[in-house]
Chains A and B, each alone.
Chain A
Amino acid sequence: MTAIDSALQPAHGTAPDHHAKPQGIGRWLFATNHKDIGSLYLWFAFSMFIFGGVLALCIRAELFRPGLQFWQPELFNQFTTLHGLIMVFGAIMPAFTGLANWMLPLMIGAPDMAFARMNNWSFWLLPPAALLLLLISFAVPGGAAAAGWTLYAPLSTQMGMGMDLTIFAIHIMGVSSIMGSINIIVTILNLRAPGMTMMKMPMFAWASLITAYLIIAVMPVLAGVVTMVLTDRHFGTHFFNAAGGGDPVLYQHIFWFFGHPEVYIMALPAFGIVSHIIPTFSRKPLFGYTSMVYATSSIAILSFMVWAHHMFTTGMPATAQLFFMYATMLIAVPTGVKVFNWIGTMWQGSMSFETPMLFAIGFICLFTVGGLSGVTLSIAAIDIQLQDTYYVVAHFHYVLVAGALFSLFAAVYYWFPKMTGRMYSEFWGRFHFWWSLLWFNVTFFPMHFLGLAGMPRRIPDYNMQFTDFNTLASVGAFCFGLGQLIFFANMLHSLRHGRPAAARPWEGADTLEWQIATPAPYHSFVEAPDLEVGENGRIDAMHGGKHH
């Protein structure tokens, strides 16, 4: 019996109406359908994006003018910490897992995710963790964690119980991510339809697979280091306490061994998404598919060898600084290969500029800016000057907002018709893109100048000479935030009133999810199709395959 056959066998004791669509709150609480769980992930991620965004606006409101306006420094530090943690663990990572849940089975011809009940648990662990971080930790004595999202010791070994809640939340979210990753790996390796071989698989599947391996490799490292903080705080250990023979720099090494691959956990799925949208709207196959697969693997492997470039100012020997500097610069090679391949795909293509394509092109342009400032920061001599300045803030927001967030918007607009059966408003989609592009740059580009001029990050007050660019950045941030409400309104309105979508609304879309009805049937591919597949999951012919 093949893996697909066994996956299609009904569970023991299953009622004949097992495949009926459940109704009411139970549909979501006990969800095992990959589409329902994918939707839960996406809505959760969006709500966390709004919470994290409100915290960002609290930060920018304080920084509109020099001096203390609204918040005491301790609360300001809590905002910066929670903004980072929520955006990374609550918004970006769950959003990519949600998309993987929704689209992977449809793209590879699987009936569902491999472990449907574990999938439910993966999701439902997230809301309690978010509650711990957001509501409860702000309410406890001493407030929320205020050590920055990196939770560096010795700050993290000294704070109130908000830090304990944060550590607990990180453990829960880590378990959730690992279970989600196991599901993704097993689904891709075992549940592909006949004909969907590994080296023909869609790039989004490749990116999700490699990302899942990265998560399984590094989330336990994060869990380990925050547990060490916990035992230092409460159980008399001295891992990070110099007075007891420990070393706070050890924390940084372990954290960044997790932290740098984490950057790619948030970037690789974005690469996968863009590798579908660019070919679709260029009406050409992806240029250099094999190279894209190899480059993704290469980036993943190299990401384990560069962690200490975050720590050049800790007093490393010059030999170590050079090692990490060269290794970091080498990552630019496979990343550059990808950017060239996307441009090669667009070259002489019959391009059109619907909203997903706009966000994908915006991603390429702005992610390249973030990549270039990354290469600048990889030079140890420069990094020592720029460490902990707003230059770093500008760099990673170009990577994560323009990289991860823009690709997520691109993905939601691209797959919205398949998910809902309705088209979104193209006018408001394009408006959302141009609005976001403008105000994103107004917010974050001046931060390069602030950093070069020496403004440190994570401060509620600053010297007078930084006022103009900070005011500009704050205006940009509020406008950028307002633009996301346009996205929300467009999605809500289109869900009910959008015009019905065709099965294949995008002319150039040729992967498996576009070969089935729109909206995707609740139980798709309950019988696996026989496929003739080209590179990047292009479907040349499909035989069989049942849905209900």
Chain B
Amino acid sequence: MRPLRALAAVLAAFFGVRRGRAANVDRQLRFADLIAAAIILVALFVGGLLLLVSWLTAP
């Protein structure tokens, strides 16, 4: 469950909004989990954007 919570925390950080209650839970997360989640989600974000713009510009 912890990796999923880390993913949720990083996703919330992407948006910039987080409930105070959820943020209290985030404080118990391990730093390594957060870094791993951030790297995965940034890669997915860039990959997703690339897929989107490739699809839009496809002949």
Q: Mark A315-338, 1 if CB is under 8 A from B, else 0.
A: 001111011001100000110011
Task: Check if A350 is an interface residue, CB within 8 A of chain B.
Answer: no
By a CB distance below 8 angstroms, the chain B residues around A318 are: 53, 57
How distant is A383 from chain B, measured CB to nearest CB, in Å?
16
Q: In the bound complex, what is the Cα–Cα distance between A294 and B38 (angstroms)?
A: 13
- Given A199-B23, A199-B27: A319 touches B16 (CB 8 Å cut-off): no
How distant is B10 from chain A, measured CB to nearest CB, in Å?
9
Q: Are B42 and A326 in contact (CB under 8 A)?
A: no
Name the one of B12, B15, B23, B53 contacting A323, with C-beta atoms under 8 angstroms.
Answer: B53
Q: In the bound complex, what is the Cα–Cα distance between A298 and B18 (angstroms)?
A: 12
How distant is B53 from chain A, measured CB to nearest CB, in Å?
4
Task: Check if A290 is an interface residue, CB within 8 A of chain B.
Answer: yes
How distant is A139 from chain B, measured CB to nearest CB, in Å?
47
Task: Check if B17 is an interface residue, CB within 8 A of chain A.
Answer: yes
**A-side interface size class:** 20 to 34
By a CB distance below 8 angstroms, the chain B residues around A299 are: 16
**B-side interface size class:** 20 to 34
Task: Check if A297 is an interface residue, CB within 8 A of chain B.
Answer: yes
- Given A199-B23, A319-B57: A327 touches B17 (CB 8 Å cut-off): no
Q: In the bound complex, what is the Cα–Cα distance between A424 and B47 (angstroms)?
A: 53
How distant is A217 from chain B, measured CB to nearest CB, in Å?
14
Task: Check if B46 is an interface residue, CB within 8 A of chain A.
Answer: yes
How distant is A315 from chain B, measured CB to nearest CB, in Å?
15
Q: Are A295 and B27 in contact (CB under 8 A)?
A: no
| Majority SS at the chain A contact face | helix
Q: Are A333 and B15 in contact (CB under 8 A)?
A: yes
Q: Are A326 and B17 in contact (CB under 8 A)?
A: no
Select from chain B the residue with minimum beta-carbon distance to A317: B57
By a CB distance below 8 angstroms, the chain B residues around A291 are: 16-18
Task: Check if B36 is an interface residue, CB within 8 A of chain A.
Answer: no
Q: Are B46 and A305 in contact (CB under 8 A)?
A: yes
By a CB distance below 8 angstroms, the chain A residues around B54 are: 319
Q: In the bound complex, what is the Cα–Cα distance between A305 and B43 (angstroms)?
A: 11
Name the one of A288, A317, A322, A337 contacting B56, with C-beta atoms under 8 angstroms.
Answer: A322
- Given A323-B49, A326-B52, A327-B49: A294 touches B57 (CB 8 Å cut-off): no
Name the one of B17, B19, B50 contacting A337, with C-beta atoms under 8 angstroms.
Answer: B17
Task: Check if A3 is an interface residue, CB within 8 A of chain B.
Answer: no
Q: In the bound complex, what is the Cα–Cα distance between A301 and B17 (angstroms)?
A: 15
Q: Mark B1-14, 1 if CB is under 8 A from A, else 0.
A: 00000000000111
Name the one of A290, A298, A326, A338 contacting B49, with C-beta atoms under 8 angstroms.
Answer: A326
Q: In the bound complex, what is the Cα–Cα distance between A199 and B50 (angstroms)?
A: 34
| Chain B residues engaging chain A, CB cutoff 8 angstroms | 12-20, 23, 27, 38, 42, 46, 49-50, 52-54, 56-57
| Chain A residues engaging chain B, CB cutoff 8 angstroms | 199, 288-291, 294-295, 297-299, 301, 305, 317-320, 322-323, 326-327, 333-334, 337-338
Task: Knowing that A294-B12, A294-B23 touch, tell me 7 more A-B residue pairs with CB under 8 angstroms.
Answer: A290-B18, A290-B23, A291-B17, A294-B13, A297-B13, A319-B57, A322-B53
